A and B are shown apart, each in its own frame.
Chain A
Amino acid sequence: MNKIWWKILAAVLVIYSTIAGLLLGVPRLAILNETIRNLYFHVPMWFAMIVLFSISVFYSIKNLNSQNETDDLKAVESANVGIIFGLLGLVTGAVWAKFTWGQFWSFDPKQNFAAISILLYCAYLILRNAIEEEQKRAKISAIYNIFAFPMMVVLLFVLPRLQDSLHPGNGGNPGFNSYDLDSRMRMVFYPACLGWILIGYWIYTIKFRIRNLQNQAQQF
């Protein structure tokens, strides 16, 4: 992915989805009203986070087999960027919740589990800080990363379905894709998801390259 076309595509898609997301028409629904536009900004954050954490696990597995330092750097940088996207997802969700549920944080299961899964990755970063030796750090943190990933999947996709949640798509509440995601919204939503995932990947590659250069500079 050294070509430039996907970076341009990412920028165009995100700019398009921001402008079109704020200007194009949306279905009128009770309570949601105009806040439905948050779909274009909130949901792509989580998709980008999942993609970045998956990249992180992929390189952790690779690192266990190869013991290669660059794989470790890739794993940690994608986890770093993933955490940022997770935090943005929490913030955009909280702002939306303020206008629809009445408060920023109402201890809804979805909110809680999302926050805990961010904690999981914060623990991963702290584990990295706790170990001095690089080889050992790479190996042990890779193991914890792989151990944490299925737990994150359980937290985000299994547990919220067992509990009553106000979140759209849960507990009998209408999901965005059931009846209210009409063709106008799809035209913005899908490009927004793709755009933000690509932007997340882009940020990760930049951060990885900076880290790599810093490491090389230290070795001289």
Chain B
Amino acid sequence: MQLAQQVKHLVKKEFVLEWRSKYALNGVLLYVVSTVFVCYLSFKVVDKLTWNALFWIIMLFASINAIAKSFLQESKGRQLYIYTLASPVAVIIAKTIYNSILMMLISIIAFAFYSLVFKPEADIDILMYFTATVLGSLSFSTVFTMVSAIASKAGNGGMLMAILSFPVIIPVLIVLIKLTKNAVDGLDRSVSLDEIGLMLVVNVLVVTVSLLLFPYLWRD
């Protein structure tokens, strides 16, 4: 299929570009590491609730910074060039896939470093927390990819990105914090199934709407 081919090439292009500069990965990792370190210096010890909330606040800002660049960074000329080669649906799918993989990688490393600095509670359900982290980074990337496309077209970088994405991401974040709190408390996994389902539904919703709307967005 042509679309699958285009998506494959575009994702490969993103990875090659990233591999050459290693800017996003290293930049965001340094951002996460220094934020965690600052938090450690100011908190020293945190309780369960703060431990969870702090992790998601750090991840929220890290992912905004990581994904904001996906459209904002590309020059107008290069965007035009890509659009002449590939269909817009392929572009948004490729960007979403690339951002999801990048965010998952970042959040796994961030989680490992975070639990190294702040010791998690003994009864935490690590596997569940890990699933939630992966789901969370997936949702962050689907939402932020579309919003960064909108913000880049509006031609008004960073601030607009934050304003537009926060109200959209807050519901996801609330569900996410509830889900991870269940994991931190070591509750039975069946309790969290509702939240996991809702996260998946929101993701499907956002991806569908993005696919429908993006073709209108790139046409100038």
Contact = CB atoms under 8 A, between A and B. Distances in A.
Whether chain B is bound by chain A comes out as yes
Given A116-B170, A144-B150, A127 B205 contact: no
Contact of B168 (A131, A139, A151): A151
Contacts of A130: 154, 156, 160
Contact of A127 (B164, B175, B195): B164
Contacts of A146: 209, 213
Contact of B164 (A123, A155, A158): A123
A220 to B, nearest CB: 29
Nearest to A131: B154
A218 to B, nearest CB: 23
B163 interface: yes
A144 B147 CA distance: 8
A186 interface: no
B77 interface: no
B204 to A, nearest CB: 11
Contacts of A142: 216
B149 to A, nearest CB: 9
Contacts of A163: 178
Interface string A118-146: 01100100110011000010011011101
Contacts of B168: 120, 147-148, 151
Given A147-B146, A154-B202, A159 B217 contact: no
Interface of A: 64, 113, 116-117, 119-120, 123, 126-127, 130-131, 136, 139-140, 142-144, 146-148, 150-151, 154-155, 158-159, 162-163
B153 A147 contact: no
Contacts of A151: 167-168, 171
A123 B163 contact: yes
B171 A127 contact: no
A126 B153 CA distance: 15
Contact of B213 (A123, A126, A143): A143
B32 to A, nearest CB: 26
B200 interface: no
Given A127-B164, A143-B216, A147-B213, A158 B154 contact: no
Interface of B: 146-147, 150, 153-156, 160, 163-164, 166-168, 170-171, 174-175, 178, 194-195, 198, 202, 205, 209-210, 213, 216-217, 220
A71 B202 CA distance: 28
A142 B170 CA distance: 21
Contact of A147 (B150, B171, B175, B202): B150
Nearest to A139: B216
Contact of B171 (A123, A136, A139, A155): A155
B153 A136 contact: yes
Contacts of B194: 162
Contacts of A136: 153, 220
Contacts of B178: 162-163
A140 B217 contact: yes
Nearest to A155: B171
Given A162-B178, A162-B195, 5 more contacts: A139-B216, A140-B154, A148-B167, A154-B205, A163-B178
B136 to A, nearest CB: 16
A159 B164 CA distance: 20
In the A-B complex, the 4 residue pairs with the smallest Cβ-Cβ separation, listed nearest first, are: A120-B167, A119-B167, A130-B156, A143-B213
Contacts of A127: 150, 154, 160, 163-164
A151 to B, nearest CB: 5
